[in-house]
Structure 1
């Protein structure tokens, strides 16, 4: 471990000023990802600004029937919060499936949204990786890429975004609230995650020193019957090969409303807009679900080791929609 300086901030302005004023500084919350990356030599900050004393851990309702989640709320607390369990079960399930109990007790919601990819080539510190060292190439393109993305990829990066809870947040049109050197702003969460394109090192639009303060989820009655399914190589703590958030409302046998998002297959949490459009007004049947799933995965760009994800995702979408529909009927 290289020498580091440590500063403990006591309010948001102090934290933003401390990081914004030093290009070699970074925020420290739960540290479940940041400390690992420092130890691996992937990141090399000189100063860690501890933000755990900031009053950003509350979970509360909003006037429109939505939810406001403080950026420093721990994953385990949010997963078990009564308003989340009752109003947004898909969020609760994604959090509970997203990490081990020990990590959930430490990891913050803001940190979860900003976590870096789990691509082995990014994390080994030496392989060519455009995300870690722009212009060096992407080792995963012709390397071991079984867990990599098939949607939203580019010739410069195919790493999969690892967050579980970001998947339902994208499906529910959440908003990320921030405070930064140029004031506060609100970022729709689907815009918060950037496709790799020609600049895979840029994963989100945050400026240096800009701090996530809260995540706001709008009131959405459909979310009350949402479900999150995660498929992985082992049932214990593991990242998704494919995951699906589904919420569906059926009227007289027809899909009246649907929200669908995918994890494990995209370079960002993937809102399944093609499938949603295909399902609007369609019969609520497994056959219609399968057609919509195939339409969503049609643009997939695969490689020999991850080509299985296309059919895997299609089947997972059908199962998630069927599960959500049955939950709504109950």
Structure 2
């Protein structure tokens, strides 16, 4: 790892000003992604700003919105009573997203900003990576691509967004509060992420001198049921091959409301609007669920190593729709 200057900050505005003054500086919270990338030589910030002492901790329910500080850990959010009662798919995505050791370190803000696990992006000896070096090519398209994306992908980049939590939050219309040097703004997560097809080298709309301070999660109706299903090579800590976050409100066997997010298949946490359109107002049947899954995966872009994900993603979504709705398999 290269040498760097370490700065410990205690004020949010101090952090964004430090970032504004140094275009190459980076922040450190739990460090579960940042330090890995620095050890691999992918990132070499000259200054590392420790933000763990910023006043961005705490979880507070205000009416029907849950406000979560960016420095709340994954384990703290999973243990929250409101999350357990009203947001089971968020809790399940957290518990399945990392080992308990990592959940005690990793922060919510950091989880949403985690970089791709693409082996080619994380190997500086690979020259063809549009995410690291624009217009250099994409080694994954011709290489081993089993853990890569099929939605939002193109010949320019098929790097997968690996977050489990972000999939659930995108489905719930969560938003992030962002602080800049002279401004603040709120960005819906559905507008926060960029696909690799749009911009391989840029994964979200966050500017360099901006900091996520809070995540805002609208609580679903009390009648809603939700869940998160993660399909992976092994039950212990592993990244998703495919996953589905599903929330349904079913009334007299008719789906009145549907929210669907997909993981393990997108270059960003994928909101499955096509599936929601098919589901809303339709009977809660396996036939409806199959139609929704087909609509979601219709525009998948595959290479030989990722083609298996299309049928697997369909089956994953259908199974979780069955689980949440109570329809027999």
Same fold (TM over 0.5): yes
**Cα pair 1:177 1:214 within 8 Å, conserved:** yes
Change (3 A) 1:226 1:199: same
Query: What is the aligned-residue RMSD (CA, Å)?
Result: 1.4
Residues 198 and 219 of structure 1, relative CA distance in 2, 3 Å threshold: closer
Tell me how far apart the structure 1 counterparts of residues 266 and 276 of structure 2 sit (CA, whole Å).
17
Q: State the 1:18 CA deviation.
A: 1.2
What pairs with 1:154-193 in structure 2 (closer than 5 Å)?
154-193=154-193
Q: Counterpart in 2 of 1:84? A: 83
Q: Is the 8 A contact 2:137 2:156 kept in 1?
A: yes
Deviation at 1:249, TM superposition (A): 1.6
Q: Offset of 1:223 from its aligned partner? A: 8.2
Match of 1:258 in 2: 258
Question: Are the structure 2 counterparts of residues 223 and 66 from structure 1 closer, same or farther at C-alpha, using a change threshold of 3 Å?
Answer: farther
Deviations for 1:136-162, whole angstroms, at most 9, x for unmatched residues?
110001110111111111221111101
Helix, strand or coil for the counterpart of 1:205? coil
Alpha-carbon distance between aligned partners in 1 of 2:138 and 2:187, rounded to the nearest angstrom:
29
The Cα offsets for residues 201-260 of structure 1, whole Å up to 9 and x where unpaired, read as 111111112100000011321685210010001111110000000111222221111111
In structure 2, C-alpha distance between the alignment counterparts of 1:246 and 1:98, rounded to whole Å: 16
Q: Find the counterpart in structure 2 of residue 289 from structure 1.
A: 289
Offset at 1:305?
A: 1.5
- Measured in 2, the distance between the counterparts of 1:236 and 1:110 equals 24
1:307 is matched with 307
Q: Which residue of 2 aligns with 1:12?
A: 12
- Partner SS state of residue 261, structure 2: strand
1:10-49 correspondence runs (5 A):
10-49=10-49
Structure 2 spans left out of the alignment, 5+ residues: none
1:100 is the counterpart of 2:99:
yes
CA distance in 2, matches of 1:281, 1:48: 51
Give yes or no for contact 1:130–1:137 (8 Å, CA) kept in 2. Answer: yes
SS at match of 1:123: coil
Measured after TM superposition, the shift of residue 326 of structure 1 is 2.3
- Tell me how far apart the structure 1 counterparts of residues 276 and 230 of structure 2 sit (CA, whole Å): 19
Check whether the contact 2:224–2:248 (CA below 8 A) recurs between aligned residues: no
- Judge conservation of contact 1:26–1:209 (CA < 8 Å) in 2: no
Cα distance in 2 between the residues matched to 1:251 and 1:199: 41
Tell me the number of residue pairs that the alignment of Structure 1 and Structure 2 aligns.
327
Q: What does residue 229 of structure 2 align with?
A: 229
SS of residue matched to 1:277: helix
- DSSP 3-state at the match of 1:7: strand
Deviation at 1:198, TM superposition (A): 5.0
Distance 2:243 2:10 in 1: 38
Q: Secondary structure at the match of 2:97?
A: coil
8 A contact 1:60–1:67 mirrored in 2:
yes
Q: Deviations over 1:20-51 (max 9, x none)?
A: 11112111100110001001000010001100
Conserved? CA contact 1:129–1:137, under 8 Å: yes
1:279 equivalent in alignment to 2:302: no
**In structure 1, how many angstroms separate the alpha carbons of the residues matched to 2:46 and 2:99?**
29
Q: Distance in 2 between matches of 1:206 and 1:248?
A: 31
Partner of 1:70: 69
Whole-angstrom CA distance in 2 between matches of 1:234 and 1:182? 46
Partner-residue secondary structure (3-state), 1:221? coil
Between the aligned partners of 1:118 and 1:74, the Cα distance in structure 2 is: 21
1:216 corresponding residue in structure 2? 216
